[in-house]
Amino acid sequence: MKLDPKIPSGPLAEKWTKHRNDIHLLSPNNKRKHKVIVVGTGLAGASAAASLSELGYNVEVFSILDSPRRAHSIAAQGGINAAKNYQNDGDSVWRLFYDTIKGGDYRSREANVYRLAENSNYIIDQAVAQGVPFGREYGGLLDNRSFGGAQVSRTFYSRGQTGQQLLLGAYQAMMKEVHSGRVKMYNRHEMLDLVLIDGKARGIITRDLVKGTINRYEADAVILCTGGYGNVFYLSTNAKNSNATAAWRCHKRGAAFANPCFVQIHPTCIPVSGDYQSKLTLMSESLRNDGRVWVPRDKDEKRPPNQIPEEDRYYYLEERYPSFGNLVPRDVASRSAKLVCDEGLGVGDTGLAVYLDFRDAIKRDSKEVIQAKYGNLFDMYQNITDENPYEVPMRIFPAVHYTMGGLWVDYNLMSNIPGLFVAGEANFSDHGANRLGASALMQGLSDGYFIVPYTVGNYIADEDLPKVSTDHKAFDEAAESSTKIMDKLLSIKGSKTVIEFHRELGKIMWDKVGISRSKEGLESAIEEIRALREEFWQNVNVPGDANYFNKYLEFAYRVADYFELAELMAIDALDRGESCGCHLRDEYQTEEGEALRNDKEYAFVSAYEYLGVNGKLETKLHKEELDFEFVELKQRSYK
């Protein structure tokens, strides 16, 4: 396996422009002879499909949900970053680039991140032109808010529903192209395999989730926009249907999986309440603009929070990180919450929560101002917990939220399989070891609107792509292998449900491959995952059959893939003998308990090659060394 990142030469600020000038174009009448498959309709998928169709390609789009508008990008709350510098606070493309690469703890590519920052401004223009109702000032111009990890206000928002509004903008742009006839939409279709012919991605196998049929689609290129794999942990802020199967099956066909251990644990989520819990709900990071995070100073504190006087409150973020305070990056905030809970200072029934308190903000700005900013989040919180956050502090705890790791891609967002492109959270490319808030929406749309439309065109222009038929034996083989997995799962008829297995797997991952990791913990996690996987394949109970709508069968094959991916995540976490960003190894910390990087040995992207599963996951590690030409690697400090 050869991994060439194909980063253009030249000064950082000129690389993308130069690359766009250099890449090959297809004439409009040639574009319409080509077909591109887009899998997933979140921000990356919908924006890519719309943009490619506008250029003239035939596009086939697949969503596992009943409508493309429901993809989980819809749930992003807080906002989207852009380097517009509308606040005149000194922001620039360079600063957004620098904050993002520093926020990612220097484990991402300079060239990719710089391009992301450059594209950020065009995304805002595009969204506004589509009618996305961003928050505005009285004068009618766009408003901004601050987000963690930055000292400027560069976050554009639509109340607490920024993801929804941006996704609907992209969805509507795509539906406009469905109307034009160039986009064909397949709802409730799940990609089960990638079809390779002559070493190139030439099609996919899907399951029609309503009829249960296995279908074949051929194309000149495939763009995977299927999101992240946070649901490995069972409990996460991801939607229940978000899954890694399409990405994992591409990995099994040869696509390298990069940085699998980089998982973001979001600091502000509603804590777990019981065993029946099916998912965790995020409270936007934007709340940390006005909310103050604290725990009681005394372990044995019994008073209700509102009766605890100032001197008995431990505002641990403000005390430990005076210059960023409550706005430290997500990894630092999550780790700090875990630390104070480990010290026994946690609050609530389980002791696994900290307070996020709006008392002072309400006193300063009035309840109305706070309501205008966060009303829907406060309502959501009250709905779930039955507590009124205007009167008592919220209880929050970290939860799995986003995966920075994903399929390896080069500068063109193409995987090591020619013709397989990966965009949005599904790739690994821009966030390094930690993603800053309001950057996921930016990356999904940058990839979909402004990168793949160019780079896919370049690939199609350069490659010899003879017509292929879905009767080709590669399609037969992939269709059979997908069917075989389902038949096997349905035949076991064991005694434990898929959800029971998934919950157990999630617990191993949360305890040992979660906020902090150790050599011993990871080694035992790997053993436990293997043992549980063995048991899964002997004893899982999947109801019904494959010939009709059967959600538990879908869950079963997704969980089967999680069992392999989980092991890879633990292997990667064990291999990475340093702490960086969200990856905190107990053995590698500064004296102050901060992540201690080892740039000499670990300034690389880990990219794994799949070799099979035989009791254990057989895998081969490849390394893409990261060169830092333009920024100086520093110990991150938010003090």
Partner 1 sequence: MSLMTINLKVWRQKNAETPGKFEDYKLDEVSEHMSFLEMLDVLNEKLIKEGKDPVEFDYDCREGICGSCNMVINGRAHGPKHKTAACQLHMRTYNDGDTIVIEPPRAAAFPIVKDLVVDRSAFDRIIEAGGYISVKTGAAPEANLIPVAQDTSNDAFDYATCIGCGGCVAACPNSSAALFTGAKIAHLNSLPQGQPERDKRTIAMVNQMEKEGFGDCSNYAECEAVCPVGISISAIAEMRRDYIKAIF
d(CA 198, CA 540): 37
d(CA 568, CA 566): 5
In this structure, are strands 257-258 and 604-614 parallel, antiparallel, or unpaired?
antiparallel
Work out how close the CB of 75 gets to partner 1 at its nearest, in angstroms, rounded to a whole number: 5
Catalytic residue among 69, 109, 216, 330: 330
Q: Given the complex with partner 1, which of 369 and 611 has the nearer CB atom?
A: 369
DSSP SS3 for 186: strand
Say if residues 397 and 353 touch (Cβ distance below 8 Å): yes
Q: Given the complex with partner 1, which of 474 and 489 has the nearer CB atom?
A: 489
Work out how close the CB of 56 gets to partner 1 at its nearest, in angstroms, rounded to a whole number: 11
Q: Which two tokens stand for residue 130?
A: 């589509």
Q: Given the complex with partner 1, which of 20 and 253 has the nearer CB atom?
A: 20
3-state percent breakdown (helix, strand, coil) of the chain, nearest 5: 40, 20, 40
Say if residues 439 and 419 touch (Cβ distance below 8 Å): no
Q: Given the complex with partner 1, which of 93 and 595 has the nearer CB atom?
A: 93
Q: Which two tokens stand for residue 522?
A: 């990871």
d(CA 143, CA 154): 9
Single out the residue of 331, 385, 289, 250 nearest to residue 594, CA to CA. Answer: 331
Q: Given the complex with partner 1, which of 211 and 519 has the nearer CB atom?
A: 211
Q: Given the complex with partner 1, which of 96 and 573 has the nearer CB atom?
A: 96
Work out how close the CB of 83 gets to partner 1 at its nearest, in angstroms, rounded to a whole number: 12
Residues facing residue 135 across a β-bridge: none
d(CA 7, CA 443): 18
Using CA atoms of 248, 254, 256, 262 in order, give the dihedral in degrees to the nearest 10: 20
Work out how close the CB of 70 gets to partner 1 at its nearest, in angstroms, rounded to a whole number: 4
Q: Given the complex with partner 1, which of 75 and 613 has the nearer CB atom?
A: 75
Work out how close the CB of 450 gets to partner 1 at its nearest, in angstroms, rounded to a whole number: 7
358-390 per-residue burial string, b: 16 or more CB within 10 A, e: under 16: bbebbeeeeeeebeebbeebbebbeeebeeebe
Q: What is the three-state SS of 450-507? A: HHHHHHHHHHHHHCCCCCCCCCCHHHHHHHHHHHHHHHHHHHHCCCEEHHHHHHHHHH
Work out how close the CB of 145 gets to partner 1 at its nearest, in angstroms, rounded to a whole number: 15
Q: Could you confirm whether 202 is annotated as catalytic?
A: no
Work out how close the CB of 289 gets to partner 1 at its nearest, in angstroms, rounded to a whole number: 20
Q: Which residues are catalytic?
A: 330
